[in-house]
Amino acid sequence: MPTNNVRGILCMLAAVAAFAVMDLSMKLLAETYPAMQVTFIRGLASLPFILIATAGFGRWRNLIPNRWALHLLRGVLQVAALYFFVYAVSRLSLANAYTIFMSAPLLITALSVPFFGERVGWHRWLAVITGMIGVLVVLRPSGIEVSGIAILGGIAALASATAYALGALLIRVLQPTETSAATMFWALTLTAVFAGLLCFSSWVPVLWDHWYWIAIIGLSGAIGQHFLTQAFRLAASPTIAPLEYTALAWGMLFDWLLWMTVPSARMLIGAGIIVASGLYVIHRERMQVAAAPQTT
């Protein structure tokens, strides 16, 4: 219904805004702490909010997993996605990191072929290839002094997008047997456990002034996840999926407000190519769903 679509769109916009605040907070922490330690903090910080919500609704049984092996694998992918993203934003502006990370929907389309045997027509393959060309445009170094840092940050953002895409495909495998609460809870818990073990040897004591940012990470992450779940419950995926690209606007805004950084022409061109390719893939998927025979 139109009313539900509007509510779903508003929820998606709220989710993207909340996650942008979380990403900003992680970038600020990454200026002081190793990327893996920030990954651990991200995993741990939202858990109290999820547990409080679960206790409030009395739905503890929803947290019981059925397929441990797949949850463990998703935990590994979650750690990889977060670690590489935190590393990327520690080397790049938020807008640059977001631009490259936006290739994730294109990677999901490409990886669905070997993983699920899905048929991807030449239109979508062309969009995927075009989008990856956009990534190369953004990755191209802009100067001798910063090119090494830019390249490493860009590669990390692409690695994060790849790990995220694999995790998203794994959710599709988990969906028939696992609740949304279990999928989210164990992803965060295992992220905290795995990242905690990996960052233990290089742990940097947390300053009191930074607990504020840690609280924001936990709260904004929980709020973002809530609104994201509501968005997909209220509206169809093709309707709200394009709104994920509004994260780029938040990244540009935060870059300008906090670091007085404006996007380069090359970044804007690359972002335009990636976003246009992603929107076209969503459009083709919408057409494919609409053309599919309806069963009663």
The yes-or-no verdict on residue 166 having pLDDT over 90 is: yes
Q: What's residue 267's pLDDT?
A: 87
The fraction of the chain above a pLDDT of 90, given in percent, is 44
Whether the predicted pLDDT of 196 surpasses 70: yes
- 101, two tokens: 């990370």
Q: Is the torsion defined by CA of 184, 186, 189, 190 positive or negative?
A: negative
- Other Cβ atoms closer than 10 A to 156: 24
- Interhelix angle 147-174/104-116, rounded to 10 degrees, is 50
Task: Give residue 90's pLDDT.
Answer: 93
Average pLDDT over residues 50-69: 85
| pTM, 2 dp | 0.89
Comparing C-alpha atoms, which of 164, 155, 162 is closest to residue 91? Answer: 155
pLDDT score of 79 more than 60: yes
Compute the average pLDDT of residues 230-234.
81
Tell me the average pLDDT across 206-229: 90
Q: What is the pLDDT of residues 16-55, one digit of tens each?
A: 999 999 999 999 999 999 999 999 999 999 899 888 888 8
| Mean pLDDT value of segment 181-192 | 90
Going from N- to C-terminal start, the domains of the chain cover 2-291
- What does each C-alpha distance from 169 to 116, 152, 259, 284 come to in angstroms? 9, 26, 35, 19
For 235-277, what is each residue's pLDDT tens digit?
777 678 788 899 999 999 999 999 998 888 888 898 899 999 8
Residue range 213-218: mean pLDDT, rounded? 94
Q: How many residues does the chain have?
A: 296
**C-alpha to C-alpha distance for 273 and 165, rounded to whole angstroms:** 19
- pLDDT at residue 265 in the model: 86
Report the C-alpha gap between 154 and 270 in whole angstroms. Answer: 12
Among the ranges given (33-47, 53-67, 132-146, 204-218), the one the predictor scored with the smallest mean pLDDT: 132-146
Indicate the pLDDT class of residue 148, thresholds 50, 70 and 90.
low
pLDDT at 145: 41
Higher pLDDT, 212 or 234: 212
| Mean pLDDT calculated for residue range 188-201 | 95
